[in-house]
Structures are given as C-alpha cells and as structure tokens.
Amino acid sequence: MRVGVLDIGSNTGHLLVVDAHGGAAPLPAYSYKQPLRLAEHLDDSGAVTQAGIDALAGFTAEALVVAEDKGCEDLLAFATSAVRDATNSDAVLEHVRERTGVDIGVLSGEDEARLTFLAVRRWFGWSAGRLVVFDIGGGSLEIAGGQDEAPDVAWSLPLGAARLARTRLSGGRPSEDMIRRLRRDIRAEIARDAGHLLRAGVPDRAAASSKTFRSLARICGAAPSTAGPLVPRSLPCDELSRWIPKLAAMSPEELASLPGVSPSRSHQILPGALVAEACMDIFDLPALEICPWALREGVILERLDQLSVLVPA
C-alpha cells in the first residue's frame, strides 16, 4: 500500500509518500516540503499568527493534492510542538480542517519521543541492546530509552533549536554572556529529569535523529547525505565542543556556508549544538550515532503494525 505522512513540524511542513510491503522497510517514494517556520510565527501571547495559519493551511492543501496525485491510500497527518504549544492550537487546526478537510492530529511530547524511539529501534534492531535516543526538533527536545520497541522512559523538553534561536539568541551575534546563560539553562532543564534515564545504567547504544543532529554531524566530518542512508555517521562530543566557539563567532552567511546547513536554519545551528553537547555531557556519552529514521518513520511503522501489513506483497 502507498501511504502519505504529513508532518507539520516547528520548522517545516513535510509530506513523505512511502510504499509499504509486508516484511520490508517503508520505501520512500516521494517527498514534498515547505519551510513553514511555525515556531517563529508566534505572537507575544504564544498564538500562531494569521500569516502562520495561512501558510499552514496553504501547505496542507497543496500536500493533499500531491498525496492524491501520487496515489496514496491513506494520509496520516500530525503536528508537533509548534502547534501543540500554541495558545490558539484548536483554532488553528479547525481553520485547516475547514479549508482543506484534513484533520491534523497533535502528538504529545511523550508520543513524539515514543514514536521516534520506535523508528530508531527498528533501524538498529535488537542487537542495539538498551537504546537511548535523542531528537532535537524546532520546538522541543525528545529523549527516550529502553530495551524494547516501546521505551521505558520518554519525555519532551522545550529545547528546540528554532524556539531557542527565537527566544534566547535573536538580535544579531550573541555575546559570550548570552551563550553562557543559555548553556547553563539548557543543562539545568535536561539534568532535572536525567535520573529517569540514568537509573537504568549505561546504554548499549546511544543514537540521535533529526535534521539538527544530521547537520551537526556533517559539520563535524560525517559523510554527506549523497553517500546514502546506510553509511554509518556519528557526532563525537569532543569534536562538537571544539566547533561551538567557532559557530558562535560566525556570521549568518558563514554558518549557511557550512556543509549540511541550509540558509533557513543557519540561525538554529548554535542553539542546537548547545543542546546536543549538553545531552552527551549530562548522560556521559562520548558520541551519538546518527539514525536516518525519525518521527515520520515511527508514525508509519506504528500504522503498519495496527493494520497488520506483515503479509507478502
């Protein structure tokens, strides 16, 4: 069967069309995305602005046409932290529903962490043992860990790269004091509940997913995306720590010229790097393996499990 997954993230709206066959990994067939930047379309009250609502509704309408053109039998539409945390979330979703007929579900932070964990577990398999997964999105950081396909612990923190760029590092090149205070606050937020993960002991494998982690790994020397998803990639903590002062000193143009960094996300690289470094330091992880599967794949896999599509194609 062919399925469309409509992911309304804090940075990007992304429709991923996949072919699902019994006993096989979901095969990407088509990708359509637009930079919505909903995390930055918020007013002082935390509501999505009319411009953000219009952008979301417009993209959803376009994605619905693409999904129909590509022959999707099912459309799974979900939104994450930008819509979840908006003070006018219900009104935003109702506007989109009335304009497009698409009912977008809102994932909780815990579900976001759980589904990302499922995707990473399926990618690395049972040989990964006890697995820990980190995902930095535009609006939130997800952390999960466990031995099985469902994590023992899973939680979400308001430490997304776009959110921190907008609320803590806007207005030009940040000062050393701004970076120091942000670094302190990030670590305090992560450390507050770190015991949930640490009580189970050292993980057998530590992994990360999301565009932010992929970009940071590329900056630190990982293979480019053109090398394909099966090439092992990692983000070493020591190398990232050496890069952070360089990132802080760079102009937006210099950041955008780095490998793996798009101009629309260049302002998010420094806060994302601070969050990534904090995760590795607090949980005493020398490096994180980069997983090409993340939340979208987790949503697809759970849907296929529910449909019992593990039969021959």
The 10 Å Cβ neighbour count of residue 253 is 9
Calpha distance 166→33 (Å, rounded): 22
pLDDT in tens, 210-230: 999 999 999 999 999 999 999
pLDDT of residue 68 exceeding 70: yes
Kindly indicate the confidence band of residue 305, based on its pLDDT and cuts at 50, 70 and 90: confident
Residue 139 phi, psi dihedral angles, 5° rounding? -110, -20
C-alpha torsion 50→52→57→58, nearest 10: 110
For the four alpha carbons of 161, 166, 168 and 174, in that order, the dihedral sign comes to: positive
CA angle 260/283/79 to nearest 5° reads 55
- Alpha-helical runs (H) found in the chain: 50-69, 81-84, 89-100, 109-124, 161-168, 176-192, 195-198, 211-219, 237-249, 252-256, 269-282, 295-307
Calpha distance 12→137 (Å, rounded): 10
In this prediction the pTM is: 0.94
pLDDT in tens, 267-298: 999 999 999 999 999 999 999 999 999 999 99
Who has greater pLDDT, 151 or 41? Answer: 151
Cα→Cα distances 190→73, 84, 143, 155, 207, Å: 40, 20, 9, 10, 17
Cβ 73 vs Cβ 5: under 8 Å: no
Calpha distance 79→84 (Å, rounded): 7
Pull the structure tokens for residue 50. Answer: 């009319």
Question: What is the overall mean pLDDT for the chain?
Answer: 94
Cβ 96 vs Cβ 79: under 8 Å: no
CA angle 300/164/13 to nearest 5° reads 35
Q: In what order do the strands lie in the sheet with 205-209?
A: 153-157, 141-146, 131-136, 205-209, 287-290, 234-236
Calpha distance 236→288 (Å, rounded): 7
Contacts 24+ apart (CB under 8 A), 46-51: 46/85, 46/86, 46/87, 47/86, 47/87, 47/88, 48/82, 48/83, 48/86, 48/88, 48/89, 48/92
Kindly indicate the confidence band of residue 309, based on its pLDDT and cuts at 50, 70 and 90: very low
DSSP conformation class of 222: P
